[in-house]
Amino acid sequence: MSITAVLGCLYGDEGKGKIIDALASDVDVTIRFQGGSNAGHTIKFDGNDHILHLIPSGIFHSNQKCVLATGVVIDLCQLEDEMNGLTEKGVSFSDRFYIDERASVVLRLHKFLDKKSEADANNEKIGTTQRGIGPCYTDSISRNGVKFYDLKNKDTLQKKITNLYLLHHIEMNEAEILDQIEDLQNHYAKVKEYVVNLPYLVDKWIKEGKNILFEGAQGSLLDVYFGTYPFVTSSHTIAGGIASAVGCSPKHIDQIIGVYKSYFTRVGSGPFPTELNDKIGEKIREQGHEYGSTTGRPRRCGWFDVVSAKYSTMINGVDSIALTLLDVLTGFDTLKICTGYDYGYHKNLYQENEFPADTSLLANIKPIYIELPGWQEDISTCKKWNDLPENAKQYVLTLESLLETPIRIVSVGPNRDQTIYVGK
């Protein structure tokens, strides 16, 4: 038995979907533990991109069970669309898909509030995905959320949804609320066979010795506590959030695999010290097809930042790293890695190698870089560590040494077979 967490350790879109899919042959159950349809996890096989927003990335492996845990916020319409799309591709859900009764429901109101908050001139623009994620978590934490178990009962739904409109000072007529309830209950009827009291099932799987994989969404630098607040998502994306989002003991987690891109990207607003607003940034964006899987927005691109990546390694207790998109760095004369922050005027507050608590400081720090030689060879067909050119190996080994954590997987393309297991 092994219980593994696979987590994005940067600003999301690190290639979690690809890595989870590549590891799938050793996994019995994949449990998505947080986030909602703000996520977009891409899995590529048979020449096609398959983008998953809610459904766990193990779904294409028919022997695997897939779970949405308590910590996930679920838009029922999105869920049904995604399940229908997958069913058309031949995926079966019967006896292998589960949703915890405690999971929160994303309502029309939440999507409205998310859009309104981003449009309001007085508010900080977070650049959210506008999927209603923040407002749904907010209502859940303020103890007013709609849970999956509420979907059974029309009267409960009416009371709760009416109350939410009152709480948010939004006028809403009864007919519209009833229409929403009908819509929710229609969607619910299609998924209710999958709804379970999850902690008991997870406990059973643990006792049976199943191999369980916890799938993270977003990335550690978007964690609501430890990310670049307020430019973060609204859930706990880090390893510490798993147990409370699933309803199992943290002592069961055996290993944490951190997924890191070979460079940095970010969608939405917020500080990004190594961002490249120049031809190099554009070249990375084009070579890496860096456009959001959920919103299609161009991703901001920049050099690898060891200070924030190492902070992420530390807060998650990362045991080993999967380094993705190395092939995208082909064709550069030199590559830079940020190894420290020059805090300038604020240098008394933090060390050069320290990620600040007040991340607004990141807007003004000067990255301290080292430079490494690039490589020109196409590495997308490399199958083994020794197939990689010396400079590519040197880049990976330098990151490994700076992060003080073994890099066990190097990904050189989006397909399943473009994965190098270092040391195997």
What are the residue numbers of the active site?
A: 13, 41
Q: Are 8 and 404 in contact (CB under 8 A)?
A: no
User: Nearest-CA neighbor of 415 among 375, 381, 377?
Assistant: 381
In order, the DSSP letters of 154-219 are: HHHHHHHHHHHHHHTT----HHHHHHHHHHHHHHHHHHGGGEE-HHHHHHHHHHTT--EEEEP-S-
Residue 324: which of Mg ion, ligand IMO, ligand GDP, none does it interact with, CB under 5 to 8 A by kind? ligand GDP
Among 85, 127, 199, 389, binds ligand IMO (CB under 6 A): 127
Q: Provide the pairing of β-strand 264-266 with 300-302.
A: antiparallel
Can residue 21 be called a binding residue for Mg ion (CB under 5 A)? no
Q: Are 72 and 34 in contact (CB under 8 A)?
A: yes
Which range binds ligand IMO by CB under 6 A, 129-137, 364-372, 386-394, 415-423? Answer: 129-137
What does the binding site for ligand GDP look like in residue numbers (CB under 6 A)? 8, 12-18, 40-42, 44, 288, 293, 324-325, 327-328, 411-414
Can residue 12 be called a binding residue for ligand IMO (CB under 6 A)? yes
Considering beta carbons, is residue 133 or 191 the nearer one to ligand IMO? 133
Can residue 318 be called a binding residue for ligand IMO (CB under 6 A)? no
Q: Could you give phi then psi for residue 341, rounded to 5 degrees?
A: -115, 130
Q: Are 368 and 303 in contact (CB under 8 A)?
A: no
Half-sphere exposure of residue 193: CA atoms within 13 angstroms, side-chain side: 6
Binding mask 244-283 for ligand IMO (x = CB under 6 A): -----------------------xx---------------
Q: Provide the pairing of β-strand 48-52 with 41-45.
A: antiparallel
Number of residues this chain uses to bind Mg ion (CB under 5 A): 3
Residue 21: which of ligand IMO, ligand GDP, Mg ion, none does it interact with, CB under 5 to 8 A by kind? none
Residue 403: which of ligand IMO, Mg ion, ligand GDP, none does it interact with, CB under 5 to 8 A by kind? none
Q: How far is the CB of 222 from ligand GDP (least distance, A)?
A: 11
Pairwise CA distance, residues 119 & 18, whole Å: 34
Can residue 31 be called a binding residue for ligand IMO (CB under 6 A)? no
Can residue 177 be called a binding residue for ligand IMO (CB under 6 A)? no
User: Exposed (0-12), middle (13-18) or buried (19+): which is 26, by Cβ within 10 Å?
Assistant: exposed
Pairwise CA distance, residues 10 & 399, whole Å: 14
Q: What residue ranges bind Mg ion (CB under 5 A)? A: 13, 40, 293
Q: What residue ranges bind ligand IMO (CB under 6 A)? A: 8, 12-13, 38-41, 126-129, 131, 133-134, 217-219, 222, 233-234, 267-268, 293
